[in-house]
Amino acid sequence: MIRFDMSGRRLPAALSEADLRKTGRVMSNLLRVKRPSVVDVRFVSEREMQRLNRAYMGKNRPTDVLSFPSPSVSRFTFHVSRFTYLGDLILCPAYASREARRRSIPLKEELIRLLVHGILHLHGYDHCDEREEMRMFALQERAVERIATEP
């Protein structure tokens, strides 16, 4: 099962530990994750996100989520790998809040969508071309819906 490590960091008010556990459980089922796996999660300010996006992606603007997969894990090798550390996710709640308002959805839903999106990237999914994008976003939305409807 996928577990999120906050390393003593606080969650945004819109998310709870139960939300993280449910997200990890649903994503583990969808991606058929059998071994215990850990994703390190940080929530940062827009200023910090812009700095990270510039340093790692070459884009001088904030973004909603950055994913840094463990080099030893991909969707092609995960099932035979002994590694449990999937990688790091960095989310920007302020950016997510604006996007949630723009889309008229709760912030909690948008933050969960970003966690799901990041986990998919950590498993090797991407949206560099139209076909991959359609596949990734369909799986993302199926996961978000399942998280919203499961007890």
Nearest Cα neighbor of 28 from 108, 111, 82, 86 is: 86
pLDDT higher than 80, residue 73 = no
Residues 6 or more apart whose CB falls under 8 angstroms from that of 108 comprise 14, 15, 19
pLDDT in tens, 105-149: 999 999 999 999 999 999 999 999 999 999 999 999 999 999 999
Q: Kindly state the tokens that stand for 36.
A: 């215990």
Extents of the domains making up the chain: 2-149
Query: What's the pTM value of the predicted model, to 2 decimals?
Result: 0.90
- pLDDT tens per residue, range 10-43: 899 999 999 999 999 999 999 999 888 999 999 9
Which tokens go with 98?
Answer: 């604006």
What topology does CATH give the domain 2-149? Collagenase (Catalytic Domain) (3.40.390)
